[in-house]
C-alpha cells in the first residue's frame, strides 16, 4: 500500500532547514521557479554541504519531520544518519511538509557532480519566507536538466533558457 504524500509546503521546509542550520543550495525545479519559471514543482531539491557536521544537522532536521526514504531501502527515524546519506548520495524523502530530495551534487555538462561548494560560489542569495537561501544559478539548473534528459526537463528547458537569456550580463567584480 502506498503512503499518502503530504502537501508540498516549501516555506515550512526552508524554515526547518534554517532552524537546524543546514548549509545547502536549492537546485532543480524549485530553483527554476525561484528564477521565474512558471512550471510547478512538488518537491524541494537540495545539495547540502557534504561534511559530517552539516549532514548531522540535515539528519536531525529530517528526523524532526518524520522523514522516510521513498527510494531504495526504507530509511526513517534513527536510521537517518550521515553515513546513510554518504552511502546513497541521492535520496528522496517524504516528510510532513512534502517531498525533499537530497543529493551530493547535480551534473555538469559531462555528467560529473557539481558539489555544494562550487554551486554556492555561483548561487544567488534570495530572501525566501524570511530566510536567506542559496539558490543555484539558472545556468547550473539548465545544465543539470539538459544532462538529465528526462521528458519533464525537456519541457521546462525552453522557458528556463528564455529566462537566462533575458538576464542582464554579470560583470566581473574587481
- Boundaries of every domain in the chain: 10-164
Which pLDDT tens digit goes with each residue over 89-110? 999 999 999 999 999 999 998 8
- Three-class SS string for the chain? CCCCCCCCCHHHHHHHHHHCCCCEEEEHHHHHHHCCCCCCCCEEEEEECCCHHHHHHHHHHHHHCCCEECCCCCCEHHHCCHHHHHHHCEEEEEECCEEEEEECCEECCCCCEECHHHHHHHCEEEEECCEEEEECCHHHHHHHHHHHCCHHHHHHHHHHHHHHHHCCCCCCCC
Which pLDDT tens digit goes with each residue over 1-55? 445 568 999 999 999 999 999 999 999 999 999 999 999 899 999 999 999 999 9
pLDDT of amino acid 148: 85
pLDDT of amino acid 169: 74
pLDDT of amino acid 174: 43
Q: In the CATH hierarchy, which fold is given to the domain comprising 10-164?
A: Beta Polymerase; domain 2 (3.30.460)
Whole-model pTM: value is 0.90
Which pLDDT tens digit goes with each residue over 53-68? 999 999 999 999 999 9
Statement: residue 85 has pLDDT above 50: yes
Amino acid at each position: 500500500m502506498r503512503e499518502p504524500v503530504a502537501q508540498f509546503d516549501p516555506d515550512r521546509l526552508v524554515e526547518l532547514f534554517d532552524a537546524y542550520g543546514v548549509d545547502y543550495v536549492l537546485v532543480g525545479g524549485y530553483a527554476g521557479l525561484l528564477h521565474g519559471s512558471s512550471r510547478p514543482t512538488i518537491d524541494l531539491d537540495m545539495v547540502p554541504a557534504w561534511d559530517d557536521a552539516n549532514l548531522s544537522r540535515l539528519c536531525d532536521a529530517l528526523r524532526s519531520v518524520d522523514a522516510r526514504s521513498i527510494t531504495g531501502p526504507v530509511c526513517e527515524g534513527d536510521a537517518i544518519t550521515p553515513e546513510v546519506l554518504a552511502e546513497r548520495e541521492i535520496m528522496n524523502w517524504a516528510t510532513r511538509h512534502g517531498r525533499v530530495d537530497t543529493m551530493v551534487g547535480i551534473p555538469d555538462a559531462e555528467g560529473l557532480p557539481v558539489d555544494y561548494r562550487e554551486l554556492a560560489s555561483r548561487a544567488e542569495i534570495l530572501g525566501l519566507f524570511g530566510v536567506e537561501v542559496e539558490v543555484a544559478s539558472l545556468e547550473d539548473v539548465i545544465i543539470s536538466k539538459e544532462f538529465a534528459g528526462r521528458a519533464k526537463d525537456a519541457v521546462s528547458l525552453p522557458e528556463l533558457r528564455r529566462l537566462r537569456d533575458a538576464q542582464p550580463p554579470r560583470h566581473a567584480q574587481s
